[in-house]
Chains A and B, each alone.
Chain A
Amino acid sequence: MQTTSKNRLNALLIPLFSILLGFIFGAILMLLFGYNPIDAYSAMLMGVFNSPYFMGEAIRQATVLTFTGLGFAIAFKAGFFNIGVAGQLLAGWVAAIWVALSFPDLPRIILLTLSLGAAIIAGAVWAGIAGALRAYFGTSEVIVTIMLNYTALHLTNYIIRSVLATGNTTEIVGENASLRVGWLTTLTQGSRINMGLFIAIIVVILYWVFMTQTTAGFEVRAVGLNPDASTYAGMSAKRNIILSMLISGGLAGLGGAVHGLGTFGNLFTQSGLPSLGFNGIAVALLGLGNPVGIFFSSILFGVLDVGAGFMPNRAGVPDEMADIVIAAIIFFVGANYVIRLVLDKMQSNKTAEKGGE
């Protein structure tokens, strides 16, 4: 394609531009309410980048987002809107902690493998339900995954109170089930960054390999882009719906395990769905289609999330304002996706006409 390099440039410029817009919009908001945006933003950035601890925290946050982002992205590639990433993440979290608490004495490598494996399966099953319903009954995966989100939330709380613990918090998992590694913790002066980072990087690579190098990935892409032609070519739409949802949920579940075994080391009752699930959607949309892009947008989100905490103390911007500014940035990032979708649509319409019949 003659436009490949130009497309690549655009693909990079558009998200950068929307990030910039988000920051500008946030700045205008702050100005309107009488806060100094330069102070606020520099507090945010300096806060994160001047401290190994907070950098570690930002990366830890990004690690989980990478899983949920990739999870959302693969379903999206196959043509599905998996809103249920948050619920699948919870399912994985529960499963990982459950296994970790049940077999505390297994050797570390075995226990971690089992815990992470259980989390993947739990997430996959949770998403697979929506996939199967869609494949066999044509039920909207959007609605089903939303409902499954709430089911996951309440089920998790129930399991904590009546199975895993007596109160609202489980015990901390043993050393052998923790994803923390000493040198990383030391390097970041005690942050909760953990081995999940390396797992995330491996998964980014695997994701890329799967999508571009395997026949299964080829099918997922083809079915997502044109289910009719794919069916004509003998691919099974049903199979691909379910497969992509299983992988999607599996990745989200793995994210849950990393969150559980890496960030907290335990599980506690929650009043709402983890925002990491929903931010994963934004991350995926920002870095759409490209696992490396998703990784970097995760880091951006991690920095925003952690950095926002500095705005109240160091720049006098109240918590709510900081949240609004972050929300505005996320909004523009999301809008970037919509803008691109519209642009693409127009472009492909044009190509279709031009390309002739």
Chain B
Amino acid sequence: MAQTERVIEMKGITKKFGEFKANDNINLNVEKGEIHALLGENGAGKSTLMNILSGLLEPTSGEIIVNGKKEKIDSPEKANQLGIGMVHQHFMLVDKFTVAENIMLGKEKHNYGFMDDQGAEKDVKDLSDRYGLTVDPSAKIEDISVGMQQRAEILKTLFRGADILIFDEPTGVLTPQEIDELMDIMKKLTDEGKSIILITHKLDEIKKVADRCTVIRRGKSIDTVDVKSTSQQELADMMVGRSVSFKVEKQAPSPKGPVLEIKNLTVKESRGLEAVKNIDLEVKAGEVLGIAGVDGNGQSELIQAITGLTKIESGTIKLDGKDITGKKPREVTETGLGHIPEDRHRHGLVLPMMLEENMTLQQYYQKPFSKNGFLNHGKIKEYAKKLIEEFDVRTQSEESTAASLSGGNQQKAIIAREINRDPALLIAAQPTRGLDVGAIEYIHKRLIEQRDNGKAVLLMSYELDEVMNVSDRIAVMYDGKIIAIVNAEDTSENELGLLMAGVPLEKAKKELAGKVETDGKERATVANDE
């Protein structure tokens, strides 16, 4: 390699939580202008390492050299001064503030004085235009989609003009186009001489943008490899320490009677607009129905309506033959529903509570976990231990708080809780978001297993790969309606892409068959509307 400049050198970093070593003598070098990927299983210690670099955690031992100088990074402010900025895996946004206010928050504190709202909004608008990250600067965080929150978070770091950017799983919630755009932005940034550390579980992203990749396994750095000369399979195997299969193994489905029957369902979102518009949908026992669509086309509201979390405007929902329209979440759950929610921190877990308590969050009031209103802690513990073991949730103990688990392991805990109840219908919203390839392989297997056991699975994902690989049928949602239902076997990524942009099935088929011309133009406008 040509003479390069090392911007970051982390030497022998060890971080202990009690007796547990989250990082064990890790070495990491980042060169100026490179995109350096960090790859490792859930709980391998990636976020911990990056939190050390960005001043949120102090290492137990080891040293950090920034631009050739040994530094003690003991606060995020210090990291900021050194030009290190982090886009967090979990958004650090103030719900009640607008996008612009959130982005200004750091800047205003560290550089200028106060800013007027309009000025701020304009600055944010300029910035978001420049990098092609679409946000509505004047919208409140609590009102915007997870995807847009993520974009605001990225903008926040860009706004501070850091030279070394850390992206902790930035693409989990982005649509394929948005991911491509982000990749372009990253390239642009490195062309300008900035350096990027990218944590991602998606090997294709690493292949696409990264120059080098450091693999971490169970807290130890295994190797740093040149991305060009390493295959995805090699990366995956190196990370997990065994051979991983990417293809979802499954037999043809044998669907039976309907488990979920939705008729004429209309749901309004929080601002009173119709988010789900007169939908009919059926999920049969023994099938996985995937819901594809760009974030914000009514998928979340549809799921909330089924689970009883949102009031429905009109229509009926039947689960397992029983009418659950307007029923409370618990009644719906008891009728036979499992739900892996999209936002695991907000809806899936009570973070400050123990893992064992979280594992029984749906069942604590039932036997054997309680009797006559008294909890049976022994049984709860036993059950949690069993699930931790079976679903390979990496935690120090079942008494650890849910907050102390790594992102992926939190997700595994929820999945374990929901699948293990063996519900007639399992709704999985973005179930593998933030999971490593080994864990994804496992979760997909469990979803298929549910199906093969004659249960119904409703899978909502923004990732086309996932929807196509796991589902038997795919319903595409656009603007609150299901514009097409296709068989996973007969469709293609391109076809789904067109459907997701609102192109009717007939037209999409025609277009793909090559008869474009006039239609192509129409599609462009539709897509832009979105």
| Residues in chain A within 8 A of chain B (CB atoms) | 1-4, 212-216, 218, 221-222, 225-226, 228-236, 348-357
CB of A211 to closest CB in B, whole Å: 11
Judging by beta carbons under 8 Å apart, are B339 and A355 in contact? Answer: no
A2, A226, A234, most chain B CB atoms within 10 A: A234
Measured between alpha carbons, how far is A354 from B92 in the docked complex, in Å? 12
**Does B247 sit at the interface, judged by CB under 8 A?**
no
What are the 5 A-B residue pairs with the smallest beta carbon separation, nearest first? A2-B18, A356-B407, A234-B330, A357-B407, A357-B89
Q: Which residues of B contact A214 (CB under 8 A)?
A: 370, 373-375
Q: Which residues of B contact A222 (CB under 8 A)?
A: 350, 353, 357, 361
Measured between alpha carbons, how far is A216 from B365 in the docked complex, in Å? 9
Judging by beta carbons under 8 Å apart, are B362 and A356 in contact? Answer: no
CB of B177 to closest CB in A, whole Å: 22
CB of B143 to closest CB in A, whole Å: 15
Judging by beta carbons under 8 Å apart, are B403 and A351 in contact? Answer: yes
Mark each residue of chain B from 83 to 113: 1 if its CB lies under 8 Å from any CB of chain A, else 0: 0000011101000000000000000000000
Q: Which residues of A contact B168 (CB under 8 A)?
A: 356-357
**Does B233 sit at the interface, judged by CB under 8 A?**
no
Judging by beta carbons under 8 Å apart, are A232 and B169 in contact? Answer: no
Q: Which residues of B contact A1 (CB under 8 A)?
A: 18, 396-397, 399-401, 404
Measured between alpha carbons, how far is A31 from B102 in the docked complex, in Å? 47
Judging by beta carbons under 8 Å apart, are A356 and B406 in contact? Answer: yes
Query: Which chain B residues numbered 346 to 393 have a C-beta less than 8 Å away from chain A?
Result: 346-353, 357, 361-362, 364-365, 370, 373-375, 377
22 residue pairs A–B, Cβ–Cβ below 8 Å:
A2-B396, A214-B374, A215-B370, A215-B375, A226-B351, A226-B352, A228-B346, A229-B350, A230-B350, A232-B307, A232-B347, A233-B361, A351-B351, A351-B401, A353-B51, A353-B88, A354-B47, A354-B48, A354-B57, A355-B403, A356-B90, A356-B169
Measured between alpha carbons, how far is A233 from B364 in the docked complex, in Å? 10
Judging by beta carbons under 8 Å apart, are B350 and A225 in contact? Answer: yes
Contact partner, A353, options B89, B349, B410, Cβ 8 Å: B89
Closest A-chain residue to B347, C-beta based? A232
Contact partner, B374, options A3, A213, A235, Cβ 8 Å: A213
**Does B329 sit at the interface, judged by CB under 8 A?**
yes
Q: Which residues of B contact A216 (CB under 8 A)?
A: 373
Judging by beta carbons under 8 Å apart, are B328 and A215 in contact? Answer: no
Closest A-chain residue to B88, C-beta based? A353
Q: Assess A226 versus B349: contact at CB under 8 Å? Given A350-B56, A354-B47, A355-B410.
A: yes
Q: Which residues of A contact B397 (CB under 8 A)?
A: 1
Q: Which residues of B contact A354 (CB under 8 A)?
A: 47-48, 51, 56-57
Closest B-chain residue to A235, C-beta based? B330
Judging by beta carbons under 8 Å apart, are B56 and A353 in contact? Answer: yes
Contact partner, A234, options B353, B362, B401, Cβ 8 Å: B362
Q: Assess A356 versus B410: contact at CB under 8 Å? Given A2-B20, A215-B373, A234-B330.
A: yes
Q: Which residues of A contact B434 (CB under 8 A)?
A: 356-357
A3, A352, A355, most chain B CB atoms within 10 A: A355
Measured between alpha carbons, how far is A231 from B307 in the docked complex, in Å? 11
Task: Contacts A236-B330, A354-B57 known; list 19 others, CB within 8 Å.
Answer: A1-B397, A213-B377, A215-B375, A225-B351, A226-B352, A228-B347, A229-B346, A230-B350, A236-B328, A350-B56, A351-B401, A353-B47, A354-B48, A354-B51, A355-B90, A355-B351, A356-B89, A356-B90, A356-B406
Measured between alpha carbons, how far is A230 from B57 in the docked complex, in Å? 30
Interface majority SS on B: helix, strand, loop or mixed? loop
Measured between alpha carbons, how far is A226 from B402 in the docked complex, in Å? 12
| Residues in chain B within 8 A of chain A (CB atoms) | 17-20, 47-48, 51, 56-57, 88-90, 92, 168-169, 172, 307, 309, 328-330, 333, 339, 341, 344-353, 357, 361-362, 364-365, 370, 373-375, 377, 396-397, 399-408, 410, 433-434
Measured between alpha carbons, how far is A3 from B352 in the docked complex, in Å? 13
Contact partner, A2, options B19, B47, B51, Cβ 8 Å: B19
Closest B-chain residue to A234, C-beta based? B330
Measured between alpha carbons, how far is A235 from B353 in the docked complex, in Å? 16
Measured between alpha carbons, how far is A355 from B347 in the docked complex, in Å? 16
Judging by beta carbons under 8 Å apart, are B352 and A225 in contact? Answer: yes
Measured between alpha carbons, how far is A234 from B308 in the docked complex, in Å? 9
CB of A224 to closest CB in B, whole Å: 9
Closest A-chain residue to B334, C-beta based? A234
Measured between alpha carbons, how far is A232 from B365 in the docked complex, in Å? 15
Measured between alpha carbons, how far is A229 from B374 in the docked complex, in Å? 22
CB of A244 to closest CB in B, whole Å: 16
Q: Which residues of A contact B169 (CB under 8 A)?
A: 356-357
Judging by beta carbons under 8 Å apart, are A2 and B17 in contact? Answer: yes
Measured between alpha carbons, how far is A58 from B380 in the docked complex, in Å? 42
Measured between alpha carbons, how far is A350 from B403 in the docked complex, in Å? 10
Judging by beta carbons under 8 Å apart, are B348 and A229 in contact? Answer: yes
Measured between alpha carbons, how far is A351 from B405 in the docked complex, in Å? 9
Q: Which residues of B contact A232 (CB under 8 A)?
A: 307, 309, 329, 339, 341, 347-348
Measured between alpha carbons, how far is A214 from B399 in the docked complex, in Å? 18
Measured between alpha carbons, how far is A183 from B401 in the docked complex, in Å? 48
Judging by beta carbons under 8 Å apart, are B364 and A218 in contact? Answer: yes
Q: Which residues of B contact A4 (CB under 8 A)?
A: 399
Measured between alpha carbons, how far is A218 from B358 in the docked complex, in Å? 11
CB of B92 to closest CB in A, whole Å: 7
Q: Which residues of B contact A355 (CB under 8 A)?
A: 47, 90, 351, 402-407, 410
Measured between alpha carbons, how far is A349 from B92 in the docked complex, in Å? 9
Measured between alpha carbons, how far is A221 from B328 in the docked complex, in Å? 21
Measured between alpha carbons, how far is A225 from B354 in the docked complex, in Å? 12
Q: Which residues of B contact A226 (CB under 8 A)?
A: 346, 349-352
Q: Which residues of B contact A353 (CB under 8 A)?
A: 47, 51, 56, 88-90, 92
Q: Which residues of B contact A213 (CB under 8 A)?
A: 374-375, 377
Q: Which residues of A contact B402 (CB under 8 A)?
A: 355
Measured between alpha carbons, how far is A218 from B364 in the docked complex, in Å? 8
Q: Assess A221 versus B353: contact at CB under 8 Å? Given A1-B400, A214-B373, A353-B88.
A: yes
A2, A216, A354, most chain B CB atoms within 10 A: A354
Q: Which residues of B contact A230 (CB under 8 A)?
A: 350, 361
Closest A-chain residue to B15, C-beta based? A354
A3, A228, A236, most chain B CB atoms within 10 A: A228
Measured between alpha carbons, how far is A233 from B88 in the docked complex, in Å? 27
CB of B82 to closest CB in A, whole Å: 18
Judging by beta carbons under 8 Å apart, are A231 and B329 in contact? Answer: yes
Q: Which residues of A contact B365 (CB under 8 A)?
A: 215
Closest B-chain residue to A347, C-beta based? B403
Measured between alpha carbons, how far is A228 from B51 in the docked complex, in Å? 27
Measured between alpha carbons, how far is A75 from B173 in the docked complex, in Å? 37
Q: Assess A225 versus B353: contact at CB under 8 Å? Given A215-B375, A353-B47.
A: yes
Q: Which residues of B contact A350 (CB under 8 A)?
A: 51, 56-57
Closest A-chain residue to B405, C-beta based? A355
Measured between alpha carbons, how far is A123 from B203 in the docked complex, in Å? 61
Judging by beta carbons under 8 Å apart, are A218 and B90 in contact? Answer: no
Q: Which residues of A contact B370 (CB under 8 A)?
A: 214-215
Measured between alpha carbons, how far is A349 from B76 in the docked complex, in Å? 12
Measured between alpha carbons, how far is A181 from B528 in the docked complex, in Å? 82
